[in-house]
Amino acid sequence: MNFQFSSESIELISKIIKRYPEGRQKSALIPVLHIAQAENHGWLTTEIMNQVAEMLQIQPIEVYEVATFYSMFSLKPVGKCIIEICMTGPCCLSGAEELLAYLESKLGIKAGETTPDGMITLKKVECLAACGGAPVIKNGFNYYENMNFKKADLLLEKCTHESFTSHSNPYHQSL
Amino acid sequence: MKILLQNIDVPGIQNFEVYRRLGGYSAVEKALKTMVHSEVVKEVKDSGLRGRGGAGFPTGMKWFFIDHTTDKPKYMICNADEGEPGTFKDRYLMQHNPHLLVEGMILSSFAIESSTAYIYIRGELFSILHILEKAIGEAYANGFLGKNILGSGYSLDIYCHPGAGAYICGEETALIESLEGNRGNPRMKPPFPAVAGLYGCPTVVNNVETICNIPWIVNNSGAEFAKLGTDKSPGTKLISACGHIRYPGVYEIELGMPVNEFLYSNEYCGGIRDNHQLKAVIAGGSSVPVLPADLILRTPKGEPRLLSYESLSEGGFDSGTMLGSGGFIVMDETTCMVRQLLSYARFYYDESCGQCSPCREGTGWMEKILHRLENGRGRMKDIDLLASVAKNIEGNTICPLGDAAAWPVRSFIHHFRDEFEWHVNEPLACLNMHQVTV
Ligand SMILES: Cc1cc2nc3c(=O)[nH]c(=O)nc-3n(C[C@H](O)[C@H](O)[C@H](O)COP(=O)(O)O)c2cc1C
């Protein structure tokens, strides 16, 4: 497997690096990892992280440190769609646990797992800061608020569509 | 009186033309054409505005501390990492009125003589990042950003920077680390960011809501702002209300409004959801102590409790709380306090950066003990053990996340001890109660 950033992304990354003072290109690390992950179906390989290190002229370990710290980065393969369900206090007051149980039984997997067909990963996350619309699900870069079983069904249905993926480049306008 | 949500419902307010037509960017014109940096700082000092990110530190004072003796660049950073459970006001402001934040950023940067500013926004909110970038682009196109703004000689660039899922990066020094491309491990203070922040340079970090107050203050003067609210809590505040109420949402209140009015008026929360009663409220985001119904509505002295820094803290740790970030979480009588606390314990365990052992280990212990209690396997001595773990975290960590994790535990036990004991005495009943059914 040979990972290669698209030429479009390389251009975008060079623009992003210019947002920081000279010699501070490491600041672009998180943005670059977001782009890299989107281009690799939602997860980061060691090869990719090494490439990012080279790109930003930093040590590979500096990239690993960051990639393992932030919950939005995955170091193992994920499904085409990731359904992230908020499990913090306010969402629990509004039925997040029931919603999780529903999704688990409907998909036949536990939180943290991916359906055997590779379509959907179910993931528990902490506060998405949308507590007024609890319970909340995040899919890709979209929030789905005031969720219930019926709306969850509609979202799952959407996920079966070929073109519907959680891994589009977040810097592209059409999220 | 509205400062922040005044025009939030105006159709098209996200666009430069509409924002401008309603008087937008007039504060930038005023400041850049008729004021010097220190005069803007003075107005904000006079306003008494306190930081809306949670700590309530006076904004003018923070700006005043910026080290002007060095010739290093100065940085203005907007903290848009909003992640405190119960808090969802900053996203609302940015989504609906992005130019208000951009205008506030220009004024704040001008005040501290910064020519590069960053908006650090949590990584989940890329859709909002796009809204902000569009507004920033419009501001450049209309001469309010870039080189020599309005011919004043002042230049400024503003960039958006995404996080990637870490509550700790809301803490200002962790945020700075993250912006430098590192893990979000908070730094020891001192030095404070005002002296050595981003890239070792003088830096101010302010919350989105704090910054959105600045245009009004520049337009109307600090003295006018200080007339709003109470002596110790000037101005208005966004309260994001959620949980078991009829109308969850973001509301702007003049500080000093009685909690009773906020909770029961149809203009705000609209009361508790149908046929239920108020049990408890976490008034300022999950990191502040919980209060039972009687203590959130009245102070220990029996006076009406008000939504202000000073009234909410009346009674100290025993019977008071804090305004914090304004995340107002309401619980009715159906709420199991052990289960609710477990969800916060899990949150802090998950979000601890792991740098300080009391927090890294202690949050794990608390989560484990609560899990045991919640699942009918708790022992009576677990309750005191839990409280003592919390106490041992408090004050023993580099950043306040440790305290934030400890306070809910201590206050939930303090006010609802009988429920914890019930979980020990009636393990079967509690297991039945918590059967999650689909
Ligand atoms: C664990 C932790 C999380 C925090 N999260 C946020 C946050 O999401 N947004 C915010 O504005 N401040 C947050 N703060 C407070 C910041 O450290 C800082 O005080 C604030 O951004 C300063 O801005 P202000 O003076 O305008 O309130 C957090 C603090 C801690 C300890």
Q: What's the CA-to-centroid distance between B362 and ligand 1, angstroms? A: 22
| Res A1: pLDDT | 61
Q: How far apart are CA B217 and CA A140, in angstroms?
A: 38
Residue A175 has pLDDT above 60, yes or no: no
The domain limits of chain A are 7-69, 81-159
CA distances from A175 to A143, A164, B218 (A): 11, 11, 36
CB B162 within 8 A of CB B122: yes
CA-based nearest residue in chain B for residue A56? B181
Q: What's the CA-to-centroid distance between B55 and ligand 1, angstroms? A: 7
Per the CB < 8 Å rule, is A66 touching B181? yes
Q: How far apart are CA B227 and CA A29, in angstroms?
A: 45
Atom 28 of ligand 1, residue of closest alpha carbon: B171
Q: How far apart are CA B354 and CA B361, in angstroms?
A: 8
Give per-residue pLDDT as tens, B364-398: 999 999 999 999 999 999 999 999 999 999 999 99
Top pLDDT among A174 and B290 is at B290
E runs forming strands in B71-135: 75-80, 116-121
Interchain contact B435–A (C-beta under 8 A): no
Please name the member of A27, A62, A71 whose beta carbon is closest to the beta carbon of B166: A71
Q: How far apart are CA B287 and CA B281, in angstroms?
A: 12
Give per-residue pLDDT as tens, B410-431: 999 999 999 999 999 998 887 7
Instruction: Quote the pTM value.
Output: 0.97
Per the CB < 8 Å rule, is B335 touching A132? no
| Res B231: pLDDT | 95
pLDDT confidence of A44, banded at 50, 70, 90?
very high
Interchain contact B60–A (C-beta under 8 A): no
Q: How far apart are CA B174 and CA B193, in angstroms?
A: 11
Helix (H, G, I), strand (E, B) or coil at B343: helix
CB B243 within 8 A of CB B283: no
Helix (H, G, I), strand (E, B) or coil at A169: coil
Q: Which residues contact B407 (CB under 8 A, 6 or more apart)?
A: B287, B288, B289, B317, B390, B394
Average pLDDT over residues B104-110: 98
CATH architecture of A81-159: 3-Layer(aba) Sandwich (3.40)
Q: How far apart are CA B394 and CA B48, in angstroms?
A: 29
Average pLDDT over residues B202-219: 98
Per the CB < 8 Å rule, is B329 touching A131? yes
CB B84 within 8 A of CB A127: yes
| Res B433: pLDDT | 77
| Res A52: pLDDT | 98
Q: What are phi and psi of B395, to 5 degrees?
A: 75, 0
How is the beta sheet containing A81-86 ordered, strand by strand?
A: A120-125, A81-86, A137-139, A142-144
- Dihedral Cα B33, B39, B40, B44, nearest 10 deg: -150
Question: Measured in whole angstroms, how far is the alpha carbon of residue B395 from the centre of its chain?
Answer: 20
| Res B133: pLDDT | 97
Q: How far apart are CA A133 and CA B173, in angstroms?
A: 30
Q: How far apart are CA B207 and CA B184, in angstroms?
A: 18
Query: Which residues from chain A sit within 8 angstroms of residue B199, using beta carbons?
Result: 21, 24
Residue corresponding to tokens 């809306």: B52
Ligand 1 atom nearest to CA at B83: 8
Rounded percentage of chain B residues whose pLDDT exceeds 70: 99
| Res B436: pLDDT | 67
Token pair of B173 as six digits? 């020094």
Interchain contact B250–A (C-beta under 8 A): yes
pLDDT confidence of B275, banded at 50, 70, 90?
confident
Tell me how many residue pairs between chain A and chain B have CB atoms under 8 A apart: 162
| Res A173: pLDDT | 66
Q: What are phi and psi of B267, to 5 degrees?
A: -75, -20
Question: Measured in whole angstroms, how far is the alpha carbon of residue B7 from the centre of its chain?
Answer: 22
Average pLDDT over residues B397-418: 97
Average pLDDT over residues B42-52: 98
Q: Which residues contact A72 (CB under 8 A, 6 or more apart)?
A: A34, B123, B124, B164, B165
Residue A118 has pLDDT above 80, yes or no: yes
Q: How far apart are CA A111 and CA A79, in angstroms?
A: 13
Q: How far apart are CA B212 and CA B89, in angstroms?
A: 12
Q: How far apart are CA B335 and CA B283, in angstroms?
A: 16
CA-based nearest residue in chain A for residue B160? A19
Rounded percentage of chain A residues whose pLDDT exceeds 70: 98
Cβ count near B302 (within 10 Å): 7
Per the CB < 8 Å rule, is B438 touching A102? yes
Residue corresponding to tokens 């008034």: B283
Q: What's the CA-to-centroid distance between A64 and ligand 1, angstroms? A: 26
- Dihedral Cα B246, B235, B149, B11, nearest 10 deg: 30
Token pair of B362 as six digits? 């202690």
Q: How far apart are CA B36 and CA B52, in angstroms?
A: 25
Average pLDDT over residues B214-233: 98
Residue B434 has pLDDT above 90, yes or no: no
Q: How far apart are CA A63 and CA A26, in angstroms?
A: 9
Top pLDDT among B434 and B143 is at B143
Per the CB < 8 Å rule, is B351 touching A126? yes
Tell me whether the CATH fold assigned to A7-69 matches the one assigned to A81-159: no
Interchain contact A98–B (C-beta under 8 A): yes
Ligand 1 atom nearest to CA at B173: 17
CA-based nearest residue in chain B for residue A149? B438
CA distances from B384 to A97, B50, B97, B366, B380 (A): 28, 36, 48, 11, 8
A7-69 maps to which CATH number?
Answer: 1.10.10
Residue B253 Cβ < 6 Å to ligand 1: no
Supply the DSSP string of B304-324, one letter for each residue.
BPEESHHHHTTTHHHH----T
Q: What are phi and psi of A168, to 5 degrees?
A: -90, 155
